[in-house]
Amino acid sequence: MAHRSLEGIEAIGVDEIQWQRGHKYLTLVYQIDEDCRRLLWAGKDRTAKTLLRFFRMLGKERSARLRFVCSDMWKPYLKVIGKRAGQAIHVLDRFHIMAKMNKAIDEVRAAEAKRLQRDGYEPVLKNSRWCLLKREENLTEKQAVKLSELLQYNLQSVRSRLMREDFQQFWEYFYPTCAAKFLDEWCTRAMRSKIEPMKKVTKTLRRHRELILNWFRAEGAISAGIVEGLNNKAKLTMRKAYGFRTAKAIEIALYHQLGDLPEPEFTHEFW
């Protein structure tokens, strides 16, 4: 670790990973520059103090040279990034935005299925979870048939899915101004839907509007998919490290696999 270089870092991704049951997390910070993608830092918990320790390690001068930061909407992260890397274009993770929307759809489906059962209606939403959550191109033949059947009903679950599919157009824009107009119009329609979980997501989108639009201001220079890919490797590393009991042991395993550390230079005295 002492021999690795921390120069030339322009883009970082911040995310958390659960390392033990009971809401025990590690905060992971990756370098996601095009020419270098690696784990920079791992710290116990996912608090503001945790991420502040990373920026202290990186130093004020290197932090000031960051051009892009990618993270989810976890409030402690947003606060620290705004304070310590305010000059960087802060891009909210597209994956987490769509995950929030999928969670809302699932809440609508579960509540509506119970309501239909309670009122004595046909259980049309039975076995419908994945056909509502998956993109159309990822549906199996059986799920596609089920979805086509559901589309015949005026259900909140179906309307929520259609709203999500409509929102996917947002990521196809090139200019922030056009994307902002679409986002504002979509949010207005979503608030008028009277579907509470979707309205909750809409309020979140409005609250983080400028950070979401940074996706377009970054002009494709940063991708949240890189962070997700590294996180998947981190999860695989943790499965391989099954039996490691402490957060520090897990951190060492993660640095070993994802840190891209230089080979040690052994001296004659070492041997």
- This prediction has a pTM of 0.85
Percent of the chain with pLDDT over 70: 97
Half-sphere exposure of 182 (CA within 13 A, CB side): 18
Give the phi and the psi of residue 183 in degrees, each rounded to 5. Answer: -60, -45
Residues 16-51 have pLDDT tens digits of 998 888 888 999 999 999 899 999 999 999 999 999
CA–CA separation, 129 vs 47, rounded Å? 33
The pLDDT, as a whole number, for residue 269 is 60
Q: How far is CA 255 from the centre of its chain?
A: 21
CA–CA separation, 55 vs 68, rounded Å? 14
Question: Is the pLDDT at 243 greater than 80, yes or no?
Answer: no
Residues 73-130 have pLDDT tens digits of 999 999 999 999 999 999 988 888 999 999 999 999 999 999 999 999 989 999 999 9
Lowest model confidence (mean pLDDT) among 110-124, 164-178, 223-237: 223-237
The pLDDT, as a whole number, for residue 20 is 82
